[in-house]
Amino acid sequence: MTARRSMAWALVFAVAAGTLVDAQVSFERILRADQEPQNWLTYSGNLSGWRYSPLTQITPANVRNLELQWVFQTRAPAEANEKFEATPLVVDGVMYTVLPPNHLVALDAATGRMFWIYSAVISPLARVCCGRVNRGVAILGDTLFMATIDGHLIAIDAKNGRPIWDKALVDPALGYSFTLSPLVVKDKVIVGPSGGEYGIRGFVAAFDAATGTEVWRFNTIPGPGEPGHDTWTDAEKTAWKTGGGPAWVTGSYDPQLNLTYWGTGNPGPDWNGDPRPGDNLYTDSVIALDADTGRLKWHYQFTPHDEFDYDATQVPVLVDMPWQGQPRKLMLWANRNGFWYVLDRTSGQFLQGKPFTKVTWATGFDEHGRPRRALAPTQEGTLVYPNNQGATNWYSPSYSPRTGLFYIPSWMDTFSRYFKVPVEYTPGSQFVGRFPTMAFPALRPPAGAINQRLPEDGYGAIQAFDPKTGERKWEFKMIDVTDSGVLSTASDLVFAGGREGYFFALDARTGAPLWRASVGGQVSAGPMSYAVDGRQYVAIAAGSVLFVYAVRQ
């Protein structure tokens, strides 16, 4: 008995401290994520926002032999307003992903079998404009961070799914929620809220990863005395209080500049700018914040005084490359407003803005990069390209350092008619105006993949642009539009999907379709790639299911 017991002791509690330390996800590992391509340690794969996998086992030559390895279904048939938008993380053979709205699971990445599930208890007061969704978790050490649709940020033990701390950060009854995957920078967890349709006042804020204590907060809608407040020029001086400016898509980070970059959402109310005259900083902007203090280094506003709900909620893509003969730290940004931009990410200087689809709301840019606005909503309705869902949206773009190309999930040649109607603010209710007309359902088709739209309503595409020349290299056309992110790989493949319910692989240099799988549901998530025991996998969420593929053995 005694001998047996001591054996049990030895077996069970022989904790190898050295192994533990190595296994933890330090921030150093996240910074150098490209050096461990078998893992996917942050939302976009690396902190530069590339969604690029250095893995090369799946190639243009063998991609046709991809076959389904396993699937993982959400716990129940998703509610009508739930979509599976999460990008999984993979750490040393363990996958972490979030089922809508906030069920975090740990899975064996090779087989899909579950280690544990943590289900956040969601307040019935939670309200979200566009779906009870979550785009994934962040990790630091042995701790995962999930932000919930009822405004909590929760730290969860990656080993057993137990909560470590749980902070209620915002009031869900006022329309604040979290849908993004948090960003870990150094010892902090950075988040911003959703809720641009509820008259919130947006922010980007950093929390101590160990305790959940707030370290800094940048108000995306500056209050009295804060720089930018003078861009809210209503006589009553109250519009800023319900000014919107959410930050619901994960930012990026440049370690040399120590800047974290975030895109901000629309001003409130969405489709009538009269109650909020002025440029409405820092809505529809990219903001560059000191990662230690949250202090604003620079900003660039893509759509001043937006009345088309264009947001600027995209992943900032950070690239170092020559620009007009000089090496330069650049930022690539395909905006929902239909232009794709090249900015200097040290200073925020506007270098280039080019339409990547039909655009009529602006005719171009002045020498400072301010768009020349051409149209505005009217009582009788104004026809505007692109449509309200935009020329792209939160769907991650991709950058491949091998091809040097920038890949954009695109809604091509879509239009909306925008009407101006009076809008009143009521706390907790939508603060928007009249919803514009659209040929496409805003979020997803009501049932399946039936498509009876007309060719003149627009179409979906994956486009590849050369940032050096501004030239479009190729376009892969789809009949229907896409809410899918794009993944590029070091073997010159591009993976993406769309509303038609296909997940596919393209040649990254030519756009030629090389492989596809009918996944039977809309792709509303970004693909990612990882490896376990030397075997490369590609994962994508579609409908209510996570699909994982590898080359047939």
Partner 1 sequence: MRRRISVVLVALAGAIGTCLPATDRGKVIAQDHGYTPADIENGARLYQSTCSGCHGPAGDEIPGVELARGQFRRGTSDTDLIAIVKTGIPGTAMPPHAFSDQEAAQVVGYLRNMTVVRTGIGTTVLRGVGDPARGRTLFEGKGQCTTCHRVYGRGPRLAPDLTEVGLTRPLPELRDALLDPSATMRPGNRPFSVVTADGRTVSGRLLNQDSFSIQMLDSSERLVSVQKRNVREQGFISTSPMPSYRDTLTVEEVDDLVGYLVSLKGFNP
| Positions marked active-site | 309
Binding mask 161-190 for partner 1 (x = CB under 8 A): -xxxxx------------------------
The distance of closest approach from Cβ of residue 363 to partner 1 in the complex, given in angstroms and rounded to an integer, is 54
Q: How far does Cα 347 stand from its chain's mean position?
A: 24
CB of 137 to partner 1, least distance (A): 15
In the complex with partner 1, the residue whose CB is nearer, 94 or 205, is: 94
Nearest CB to partner 1, comparing residues 9 and 427: 9
Query: Using CB under 8 A, which of the segments 114-122, 444-452, 461-469, 541-549 binds partner 1?
Result: 114-122
Left, alpha or beta for 521 (phi > 0: left; psi -120 to 50: alpha)?
beta
Find the part of the chain contacting partner 1 (CB under 8 A) among 34-42, 107-115, 176-184, 282-290: 107-115
Rg (CA), the chain: 23
Between CA 72 and CA 280 the distance in angstroms is 43
Whichever of 1 and 454 has its CB closer to partner 1, that residue is: 1
Among the listed residues 59, 62, 115, 430, the single contact to partner 1 using CB under 8 A = 115
Closer CB to partner 1, 167 or 509, in the complex: 167
- For partner 1, the closer of residues 64 and 113 by Cβ is 113
11 near partner 1, judged by CB under 8 A: yes
CB of 398 to partner 1, least distance (A): 29
β-sheet bridge partners, residue 145:
138, 155
**Strand 203-208 with 188-191, pairing:** antiparallel
Min separation Cβ 173 and partner 1, Å: 16
- Any contact of residue 3 with partner 1 (CB under 8 A)? no
Residue number with CB closer to partner 1 (163 or 401)? 163
Q: 199: which strand partners? A: none
CB of 368 to partner 1, least distance (A): 49
Do residues 295 and 304 lie in contact, with contact meaning Cβ atoms separated by under 8 Å? no
The answer to whether the beta carbons of residues 342 and 467 sit under 8 Å apart is yes
CB of 106 to partner 1, least distance (A): 6
Nearest to 182 by CA among 267, 62, 271, 89: 89
Confirm if 152 and 169 have CB atoms less than 8 A apart: yes
Pick the binder of partner 1 from 16, 61, 447, 450 (CB under 8 A). Answer: 16
User: Binding to partner 1 by residue 5, rule CB under 8 A?
Assistant: yes
CA distance 38 to 94: 11
* Number of chain positions touching partner 1 (CB under 8 A): 37
Element (H, E) at 477: strand 471-478
- Residue 364 DSSP symbol: E
Q: Determine if 383 is a binding residue for partner 1 (CB under 8 A).
A: no
Q: Of the candidates 34, 108, 344, 457, which one interacts with partner 1 according to CB under 8 A? A: 108
Pick the piece of the chain touching partner 1 (CB under 8 A) from 112-120, 214-222, 481-489, 520-528: 112-120
Rank residues 69 and 489 by Cβ distance to partner 1 and give the closer one.
Answer: 69
For 151-168, give the DSSP string.
SEEEEEETTT--EEEEEE
DSSP for 3-72, please give it: HHHHHHHHHHH---HHHHHHHSB-HHHHHTGGG-TT-B-STTSSTT---EE---SS-TTTGGGEEEEEEE
Encoded one letter per residue, x for contact with partner 1 by CB under 8 A and - for no contact, window 71-100 reads -----x---------------xxx------
The pairing of strands 252-254 and 259-263 is: antiparallel
Inter-residue contact 355 to 367 (CB < 8 Å):
no
- Output DSSP code: residue 336: T
Span from 8-16, 58-66, 300-308, 443-451 in contact with partner 1 (CB under 8 A): 8-16
Among 56, 65, 160, 347, binds partner 1 (CB under 8 A): 160
Which element (helix H / strand E) includes 2?
A: helix 2-13
Least CB distance to partner 1 at residue 372 (A) = 52
C-alpha count within 13 angstroms, C-beta hemisphere, residue 222: 18
Q: CB 105 → partner 1: shortest distance, Å? A: 11
90 or 331, CB closer to partner 1?
90
Which residues of this chain interact with partner 1, rule CB under 8 A?
A: 1, 4-5, 8-9, 11-16, 19-20, 23, 76, 92-94, 106, 108, 110-111, 113-117, 119, 121, 157, 159-160, 162-166
